[in-house]
Amino acid sequence: MPVFAPGLVGPALLLSAVLFCIGVAGVLLRRNAIIVFLCIELMLNAVNLTFVAVGQLYGMSGQVIVFFVMSVAAAEAAVGLAIVLSVFRHRATVDLKHANLLQG
């Protein structure tokens, strides 16, 4: 049953900001490609939360967009992991430190 709870919007947005920033810190901090992907997923979740929170005020579109974000995240995760897999096959590592062929 859809609930109308405008009082939670502010705190929800704040939480979303915090989670997003934790995700950013994780992306910058870790060298393991898989962990980096996980942090990206975390960021996407934070964005989902934002959409839902704003949806309280702006109608159902917020929740619909969440749906799309999720499917895009799925697609991105699949393709990204496939890429990491093929790199792993060549370099036997998922450490980003070794992915430096663009150097120069």
Partner 1 sequence: MLATLQAAPQSIATAASAARWLWLAVALPLAGFLINGAIAFWQPQAKRAVSLIGPGVLLGAFAVVLYVAKSVGGVHLEAPIIVRLWDWIGAGDLRIPLAFQVDQLSLVMLMIVTGVGSLIHLFSVGYMHHDAGYARYFAYLNLFVANMLVLVLGDSLPVLFIGWEGVGLCSYLLIGFWYQDKANADAGKKAFIVNRIGDFGFLVAMFILWYAVGTLSFRELAVMAAGAFEGHTALVTAATLFLILGCTGKSAQIPLYTWLPDAMAGPTPVSALIHAATMVTAGVYLVARTNVLFALAPFSSMVLAGIGAATAIFAATIGLRQYDIKKVLAYSTVSQLGYMFLGVGSGAYVAGVFHLMTHAFFKALLFLGSGSVIHAMHHAYHETHSHDDPQDMRNMGGLRKAMPVTFVLMLLATLAIAGFPLLSGFFSKDEILASTFARGHDEPVYYLFWALGMAAALCTAVYMMRLITMTFLGENRTGAKEAPHLHEAPWIMTGPLVVLGILTVAGGLFNLPAFVGGHHWLETWLEPVLAPAAAIRPALLPHGATEWALIGAAVTVALGGLWLGWRLTSRAVIVPAKQAAAETGFAKVLFHKYYVDEIYDALVVRPLLRFSESTLWKQMDQGVIDGLGVNGAGRLARGLGRVGSWLQTGQVGLYLVLFLAGALYVIHVVTR
Partner 2 sequence: MTHAVFVFFALVAVASALFCVTQRNPVAAIMWLIVTMLSLAGIFVLLGAEFAGAMQVLVYAGAILVLFMFFVMLLQLRHHDSDIRGKLGWVLALGVAGALLMQLAALKGYTPGRLAEEISSAPDQFASPAAVFPHAAEVQQTAVALGPVGAVAEPMFTRWLVPFELTSVLLLAAIVGAVVLAKRRL
Kindly state whether residue 89 participates in binding partner 1, applying the rule CB under 8 A. Answer: no
Distance CA 80, CA 73 (A): 10
| Residue selected from 4, 6, 71, 100 as contacting partner 1 according to rule CB under 8 A | 100
Query: Nearest approach, Cβ of 100 to partner 2 (angstroms)?
Result: 14
3-class secondary-structure state, position 95 = strand
Distance CA 89, CA 70 (A): 29
Binding mask 20-59 for partner 2 (x = CB under 8 A): xxxxxxx-xxxxx-xx-xxx-xx--x--xx--xxxxxxxx
| Residue selected from 1, 28, 60, 92 as contacting partner 1 according to rule CB under 8 A | 28
User: For residue 56, which amino acid is it?
Assistant: Q
Query: Nearest approach, Cβ of 83 to partner 2 (angstroms)?
Result: 6
Kindly state whether residue 98 participates in binding partner 2, applying the rule CB under 8 A. Answer: no
Distance CA 20, CA 43 (A): 5
- Diameter over CA atoms, the chain: 57
